[in-house]
Each structure stands twice: as C-alpha cells, then as structure tokens.
Structure 1
C-alpha cells in the first residue's frame, strides 16, 4: 500500500468497485456461517461473478481491504484485546503469546552462531605461493 490513504485508493476504483470492495470487506468480517458467496455478492451488485473475481485481484481492491482492516482494528482494538485476554485466561497459549508480544513483554529473537572454520590467511598465502612456484 506504501502510504496511500483510503481516499487515494478509492480514486483508482469506480463507484461500483468501491461498493464491491466494501461488500467483500464486510463479508470477511462476518462469522463464517453468515458469509455470503461471491455469486450472491455479484448478484447484489448486478455484475457477473467473473467480474467480481477479476476485481478482487486488482492492487487497488487489495489495498482498499488492507486500509479498511487497519481502520477496523483501530476502532475495535479494545474489544479485540479483551477477546485475546479472555482466551489467554482460558489457557490458549497462542493468545497468551500474542498478548505478551503486543505488550512488549515478549520479543521474538533469533540468535546466530557462526561455526564456519576460520581461514588462516598466512597458511593460505603460503599454499598460494607454493602453488605459484610450481607453475
């Protein structure tokens, strides 16, 4: 998305595509059993389902979804964190880890140990000189 605002993204989409992007985003936020099919969404928009599939792949449509997700999570941060805490209290280790990462209490860290053999430059220079002498 690279610092594009939702307004900038919407300028790249037709009014019909903005409506489609909104419906697709809203559909994704519903519980799985309540979600509509792409065919149902296409019917609501009065377009072919193939058109909807093609639109979904466009960068502007994908960027719209990312921008809306960012807005949604900002608006619902307290509720989301409450759910994370509740799940953590129920023993969900993944949620405990997520909560701790969010609070800066747990940081993923990678340690690297170089076990490669160190090169003896003097010995290498000697071998090279011996090799050259044989030529």
Structure 2
C-alpha cells in the first residue's frame, strides 16, 4: 500500500478533526500514567466523547497516525539505530536479530516441499478428449 502524504490526508479532515488527530497522536506518545483520557481530549476540542471515538475510526485519521509515525521514525532514525546498536554491543540477541532484519541481512524464509506423482500427460489428454466428445 502506498502511503499518502500528510498534506493529502489532512485535506480529508476538517480542521477540528485534524486537531483531534494531532492531540490523540501526541497523547499516544506520552507514558501510560501521563496520558489524557478520550473524554479529556474531547472536552479540549469541545466535542462529545462519542464524536471523538467515531472520528478516531475514520480512515484519514488512521492514515494520519501512520504518516506522522513514519515521519517521526525517519527524523529519529539515527538515534533509534544508535540505541539499537548499543543493545547489540551489550549482547542483546533479540536486538541483534532486529538490527540484521532492519538492514536486510536476515530474512525470514519458509520452504514448501510438494510431493506428487508424475502426471501422465497422454492420459490427461485422453480424458479431456473424452469429456469434450461427451459435451458436444
């Protein structure tokens, strides 16, 4: 799926919905004990809690969150990778695996083995010809 640009996504939201998307995204970044409730955010926007919950399900709201997250990760890639490398150097095997996956050095791979008998092409052709004669 091709991700739309943030400006294009915001065109699908009202100014109040865009503000709600920003507030909810910023709220998600806070530690669990510091987060506001949906009711608090709704009150801040002067909408009902139900309205805010309905807005949250809008495709443009979900796209907004994904686009801003992608932007945030891109802006902080160096810091994230430095932290990841630090964990790798400390011997954290799961972080080593994550680093290798992120760099394309490790790919999950599955193999499927199919066992079947060899097909007798002349027998299949004969059956096909018999069926064609039958339905003429």
How would you bin the TM-score normalised by the shorter chain? Answer: 0.7 to 0.9
Cα separation, partners in 2 of 1:92 and 1:34, compared to 1, 3 Å: farther
SS at match of 1:54: helix
What CA distance in whole angstroms lies between the structure 1 residues aligned with 2:45 and 2:90? 42
What CA distance in whole angstroms lies between the structure 2 residues aligned with 1:61 and 1:104? 31
What CA distance in whole angstroms lies between the structure 2 residues aligned with 1:34 and 1:92? 29
SS at match of 1:23: helix
In the other structure, the counterpart of 1:84 is 84
Cα separation, partners in 2 of 1:43 and 1:75, compared to 1, 3 Å: same
With normalisation by structure 1, the TM-score equals: 0.81
Cα separation, partners in 2 of 1:15 and 1:124, compared to 1, 3 Å: closer
Shift in Å, 1:116: 2.5
- Length, aligned pairs only: 131
Gaps of 5+ in 1: none
Gaps of 5+ in 2: 132-136
Q: Deviations over 1:57-76 (max 9, x none)?
A: 00111111111011100111
What CA distance in whole angstroms lies between the structure 2 residues aligned with 1:108 and 1:63? 28
Deviates more, 1:1-10 or 1:35-44: 1-10
What CA distance in whole angstroms lies between the structure 2 residues aligned with 1:16 and 1:125? 67
In the other structure, the counterpart of 1:47 is 47
What CA RMSD, in Å, does the superposition of the two structures yield over aligned residues? 2.5
Q: Deviations over 1:89-110 (max 9, x none)?
A: 3443332111011222212222
